């Protein structure tokens, strides 16, 4: 028969085991920190691509010349990469050095079949445009540096570029990363640097793809999903 001292010892042991079990359960269900990401596919050699974290797909695949319909939760601290739809080999690694939990980003696949590339754009701290204006950022995925002009449809070319000498693979940055433009400015023309004779890109931005607050990134590309020229892709940032 158990005496009182033995019963007390058994009770203490059971309580300790129960506590350990509860701690383990809490560790198992602890959520992985994530960032909010919109994916854009601008690599003309990749019909459809998806983002992977430590080998597991995050979100759906995205067709060339398009942005993901919604923002996806991407775990931070994981090895990120793009893969073509249905393929196990990676196209390109994505630098996650500056991806922070609970922050918004746009991750873009661009480049060519021989040299696929990826860029991470922060969507944090965007100043909302004033009434009648839109906040626009440009990203050059065309492969060639250019002077970017955004004006009203059919309007005269502005005296100075909206973004001058925007290098390939770069976005407008700094305090004017998201420049303020009249909402009526939808005609987009990109010229070789210092030349305004024949535009390398002549397109219309899709204002419906801006956020409800009239904010978005216009991606410059010289190929469309059907192989034509003079294209741009507009995508809203993650909120």
More confident site: 222 or 64: 64
Its pTM stands at 0.84
Summarised one tens digit per residue, pLDDT across range 108-147 is 999 998 999 999 999 999 999 999 999 999 999 988 999 9
Cα separations in angstroms, 72 against 31, 105, 141, 145, 178: 15, 10, 22, 31, 22
Cα separation, 64 vs 145, whole angstroms: 21
Tokens standing for residue 227: 């192989």
pLDDT at 174 over 90: no
Query: What confidence tier does 48 reach under pLDDT thresholds 50, 70, 90?
Result: very high
CA distance 33 to 102: 7
Among 3-12, 32-41, 125-134, 176-185, the range scoring the smallest mean pLDDT is 3-12
Which residue did the predictor score with more confidence, 208 or 16?
208
Return the exposure string of 122-144: e unless at least 16 CB atoms fall within 10 Å of the residue's CB, then b: bbeebeebeeebbbbbbbbbbbe
Task: Convert the pLDDT of each residue in 29-46 to its tens digit.
Answer: 568 899 999 999 999 999
The domain defined by 32-124 carries CATH number 1.10.10: no
Q: Phi and psi for 206 in degrees, rounded to 5?
A: -95, 100
3-state secondary structure of 122: strand
**In this structure, are residues 181 and 219 in contact, taking their beta carbons and an 8 Å threshold?**
no
H or E element at residue 10: helix 4-29
Spell out the SS3 assignment of 149-165: EEEECCCCCCCCCCEEE
For position 131, what pLDDT does the model report? 96
Domain spans in the chain, listed from the N-terminal domain onward: 32-124, 127-239
Model confidence at 10: pLDDT above 80: no
Determine the 3-state secondary structure of 199 from DSSP: coil
Answer whether residue 180 shows pLDDT above 90. Answer: yes
Of 38 and 28, more confident: 38
């Amino acid at each position: 028969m158990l005496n009182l001292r033995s019963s007390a010892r058994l009770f203490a042991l059971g309580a300790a085991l129960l506590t350990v079990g509860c701690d383990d359960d809490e560790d198992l269900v602890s959520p992985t920190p994530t960032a909010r990401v919109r994916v854009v596919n601008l690599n003309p050699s990749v019909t459809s691509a998806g983002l992977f974290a430590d080998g597991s797909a995050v979100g759906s695949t995205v067709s060339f010349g398009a942005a993901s319909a919604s923002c996806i939760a991407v775990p931070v601290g994981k090895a990120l990469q793009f893969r073509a739809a249905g393929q196990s080999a990676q196209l390109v690694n994505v630098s996650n050095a500056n991806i922070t939990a609970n922050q918004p980003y746009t991750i873009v696949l661009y480049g060519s079949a021989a040299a696929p590339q990826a860029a991470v754009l922060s969507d944090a701290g965007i100043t909302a445009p004033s009434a009648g204006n839109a906040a626009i950022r440009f990203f050059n995925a065309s492969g060639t540096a250019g002077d970017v002009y955004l004006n009203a449809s059919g309007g005269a070319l502005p005296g100075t570029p909206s973004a001058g000498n925007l290098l390939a693979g770069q976005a407008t940055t700094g305090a004017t990363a998201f420049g303020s433009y009249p909402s009526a400015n939808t005609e987009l023309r990109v010229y070789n640097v210092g030349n305004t004779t024949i535009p390398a890109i002549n397109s219309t931005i899709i204002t419906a793809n801006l956020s409800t607050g009239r904010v978005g990134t216009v991606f410059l590309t010289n190929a469309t999903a059907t192989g034509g020229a003079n294209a741009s892709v507009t995508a809203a940032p993650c909120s």
